[in-house]
C-alpha cells in the first residue's frame, strides 16, 4: 500500500472511515476522513467527495468498517474499490512501524 500511495497518489482516492479521535492517535496523511458515524452527513452527496470512476482505497482500524464502506460504494456505482485488509493496525505492523498502534 505504501508503495502504491507513493507511486499513484494522484490517481487514487484514499478514504479513512475511522473517527476523528482515532485519527488523533494514528493517521496516514494522504487519506480523507469520512467517519462512518457521520454517514448521514456525507452519504447523500458522496460524489462531491469522491469520483466513482477513480480507484478508491478504504481504511479503518481493523478492516471491518472499511469493508462496509466498500460494499456501500460499490452499490453507489463506484467501479474500483479496495479495502485495506487488517486496517491501519496491520499497516502499522507490516508496512510502517512508526504509525502508532492503539
The model's pTM is 0.91
Query: Which residue matches cell numbers 476522513?
Result: 33
Beta-carbon contacts of 30 under 8 Å, excluding residues fewer than 6 positions away, are 5, 9, 14
**What's residue 28's pLDDT?**
93
User: Which of 17, 26, 60, 81 is the catalytic position?
Assistant: 60
Q: What are the boundaries of each domain within the chain?
A: 2-94
Q: What is the pLDDT of residues 22-63, one digit of tens each?
A: 999 999 988 999 999 999 999 999 999 999 999 999 999 999
Is-catalytic flag, 70? no
Closest by CA position to 31, among listed 1, 73, 62: 1
Is 2-94 in CATH node 1.20.90.10?
no
- Residue 48's CB is within 10 A of a number of other CB atoms, namely 8
Amino acid at each position: 500500500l505504501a508503495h502504491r500511495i507513493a507511486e499513484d497518489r494522484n490517481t487514487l482516492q484514499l478514504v479513512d472511515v475511522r473517527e476523528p479521535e482515532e485519527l488523533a492517535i494514528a493517521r496516514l496523511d494522504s487519506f480523507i476522513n469520512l467517519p462512518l458515524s457521520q454517514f448521514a452527513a456525507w452519504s447523500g452527496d458522496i460524489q462531491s467527495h469522491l469520483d466513482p470512476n477513480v480507484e478508491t482505497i478504504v481504511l479503518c482500524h481493523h478492516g471491518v468498517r472499511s469493508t462496509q464502506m466498500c460494499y456501500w460504494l460499490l452499490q453507489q456505482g463506484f467501479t474500483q474499490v479496495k479495502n485495506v485488509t487488517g486496517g491501519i493496525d496491520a499497516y502499522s505492523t507490516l508496512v510502517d512501524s512508526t504509525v502508532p498502534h492503539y
